[in-house]
Amino acid sequence: MGKYQELARKIVENVGGKENINGLTHCITRLRFKLKNEEKANDEILKNMDGIVTVMRAGGQYQVVIGNHVPVVFEEVIKAGNLTFDEAVSTEKMRPFDMLIDGISGCFQPFLAILAAGGMIRGLTAFLVFLGAFDRGSGTFVMFDNIGDSVFQFMPVIIGLTAARKFKVNEFVGMLLGAALMNPSLSLEALSGAAEAPLTTIFSGTIFEAPIYQTVFGIPWIARNYASSVIPIIFIVLLASQIQKPIKKLVPEMIANFFVPFFTVLITMPLGFLLVGPVFTFATDILMAGFETLLALSPVIYGAIVGFFWQILVMFGLHWAIVPMGLMQFSVNGWQNIMTPVAVVSFGQTAALTALYFKLRNPKDKAIAIPAIVSGIVGITEPAIYGFTLPRKKIFIFTCVGGALGGAYSGLMNLTSWNQGGLGIFTIPNYIRPDGDLTDVINVLIGIAIAMVVSFALTFFFWKEEAGETDDRQKRSGKEIVKTPIQGQIAPLKTAKDAAFAQGTLGRGILIYPEKGEVRAPFDGTVMTLFPTKHAIGMVSETGLELLIHVGLDTVQLEGKYFESLVQQGERVKQGDLLLRFDKKKIEKEGYSLETPVIVTNYMDYLDILENQGETVGPDDALITALT
């Protein structure tokens, strides 16, 4: 895990430092920061760091797309920033919809892996029944099918835990709230079985019809079955987070460990059973009815719409508004078809990238494309989207068209999923019916094939570089010269004391040991990034070469002392213009090294980066040559 330590440190530094981080979670491919001030984040530096696919601002979050090794990077970021989030994340600047998406995603993301595991176990068990390994009445089937089903049956307990983490409630309190919802003695069956007839019935003749078998303090108790439910527990834990705030202030610290959970549960859970649970169950029933009505009106159009727009929703994190619908339908019926068009979508990205691979000319692009294709097969599409298809907008649209046609087929065939969880090829076992029938497996494979063939064919036969889409590397020809920004002695970058530079994590380039306290523009271009501390500056040339000049080691700690900026971020400059001044003697007197890395951050766009092989460089010397 050590190789990600420097990457993590740089991420923390470039999201504005530890002090700017209010919260951090991760999903399968992204670090999701809640920042106090997103303007302090250095988008361009992060985007150009080796190990980061891209950055996004969506759903009230600052998202750093890493890839499928994000759990390891997440742990290193926590360590690098010594991050603890004991205080609730501020949401005062978030819009209500962003708050909703943030809350739902924060509750679901942490347990997606075990959700996938449970679904795959049930799918494998059903497949073995089909192969005749054992029958449905055997002890083997009963054991393994119910092991896989446990994650769905006890969803309120699992979400109680994740919601408690999200809303800053004691985790065991969250689990207890979920367990109370699961208590068999408090279920609809138990209460109805203990009564000869309901006391009354509300909403008779509607989908919300609910018999009342008991009252609590004279208040009608609308009993429901909450096993496998997903939404009520989220809002019950959210309620608990608000109830515990005044309790913490009132209860003496000496006895807080016992009495804060006691009073929180004592107040929250009755309100959960009497008010929150029924209200949000009714609300989800309305949403479910809406989705099922749309699906019933035209399954083909529904599938096409979901298939076309799904990747766009995922890009902005808005898919979390829909994901719970599939889980709720599954919890009610034991199957779901609301989300089945999604199963085919990711394969369109993979197929389009495969077609693009055969048309790429740059060997480095081809080398990067291969792991992106592999990731796409297992359902991780961010490397394909952000690295290849989205920058070439027409290809991204082609994949949406492929997803739409594959989704339309899934709607036409009433494709049904009998388990939940898994991504990419690991979703396929979900379509094995409980009796082992493979009809839905065949249909999902056909839907995948349609999405892949369409996306591949459109990309292979109809995509070519256009004026507005041409890569910077194809606009350039021959080579680009980076002149010396600082006079002094030079050394290979691998000798840098900062491991992030030495290992090439941030880019390729060279070290300068300054003889003069001036930084001059090494080419005609634009000041892309100017750090507030003025110790580092990022530039982009007129042809697209991106350069970072980082004056000194750990000089960020000087907080701008001894540095003077003569330009502003966004300013256009000519080669030789004075950018920065720094007091070399005073900085060294403070104990800081002036070892200065000068690196090409988008070096992957070039065939090779050649560094000056001399010992010293002057104002007009070529420091770096980028071959195109």
* HSE-CB of 454 using CA atoms within 13 angstroms: 27
Examine the pLDDT at 470 and tell me if it is beyond 70. Answer: no
Examine the pLDDT at 597 and tell me if it is beyond 50. Answer: yes
d(CA 49, CA 514): 25
| The two three-digit tokens of residue 390, written as one number | 């989205």
DSSP for residue 229:
-
DSSP line for 85-146: --SPPP-TTS-HHHHHHHHHHHHHGGGHHHHHHHHHHHHHHHHHHHHTSS-TTSHHHHHHHH
Lowest mean pLDDT of 106-120, 155-169, 567-581, name the range. Answer: 106-120
Say what the pLDDT of residue 88 is: 38
DSSP line for 314-346: HHTTGGGGTHHHHHHHHHHHS-B-SSTTHHHHH
* HSE-CB of 31 using CA atoms within 13 angstroms: 28
User: pLDDT band for position 313 (50/70/90)?
Assistant: confident
Examine the pLDDT at 3 and tell me if it is beyond 70. Answer: no
527-571 per-position pLDDT tens digit? 988 888 889 999 988 888 999 999 998 888 888 899 999 998 888
User: pLDDT band for position 89 (50/70/90)?
Assistant: very low
Set out the domains of the chain in order of their start, with CATH numbers.
Answer: 2-90 (3.30.1360.60), 154-296 (no CATH), 298-470 (no CATH), 476-627 (2.70.70.10)
Higher pLDDT, 396 or 383: 396
For residue 176, give the H/E element and its range.
Answer: helix 171-182
Say what the pLDDT of residue 317 is: 63
Average pLDDT of the residues in 443-456: 97
> Which residue has tokens 């003077």?
564
Considering the chain, what percentage of its residues have pLDDT values greater than 70?
A: 93
Average pLDDT of the residues in 384-388: 80
d(CA 207, CA 442): 34
Specify the amino acid at residue 110.
Answer: P
Catalytic residue among 27, 126, 306, 345: 27
> Which residue has tokens 């213009």?
577
Q: Where are the alpha helices (DSSP H) in 551-627?
A: 584-589
32-50 per-position pLDDT tens digit? 888 888 888 888 888 877 7
Q: Which stretch, 84-88, 288-292, 413-417, has highest mean pLDDT?
A: 413-417
User: pLDDT band for position 594 (50/70/90)?
Assistant: very high
Average pLDDT of the residues in 191-198: 82
- The pTM score is 0.57
Q: Which stretch, 329-338, 390-399, 420-429, has highest mean pLDDT?
A: 390-399
Average pLDDT of the residues in 81-104: 61
Strand pairing partners for 548? 538, 599
Examine the pLDDT at 468 and tell me if it is beyond 70. Answer: no
Q: At 10, phi and psi to the nearest 5?
A: -70, -35
User: pLDDT band for position 91 (50/70/90)?
Assistant: very low
114-163 per-position pLDDT tens digit? 887 887 788 788 888 878 888 888 999 899 989 988 888 899 999 999 99
Average pLDDT of the residues in 187-204: 84
How many residues appear in the chain? 628
> Which residue has tokens 């599938």?
303
d(CA 48, CA 37): 21
350-368 per-position pLDDT tens digit? 999 999 999 887 676 777 7
Examine the pLDDT at 56 and tell me if it is beyond 70. Answer: yes
Say what the pLDDT of residue 94 is: 56
Beta strands at 210-212 and 200-202: parallel, antiparallel or unpaired: antiparallel
Computed over its alpha carbons, how large is the radius of gyration of the chain? Answer: 29
Q: Which residues contact 414 (CB under 8 A, 6 or more apart)?
A: 299, 337
27 is catalytic: yes
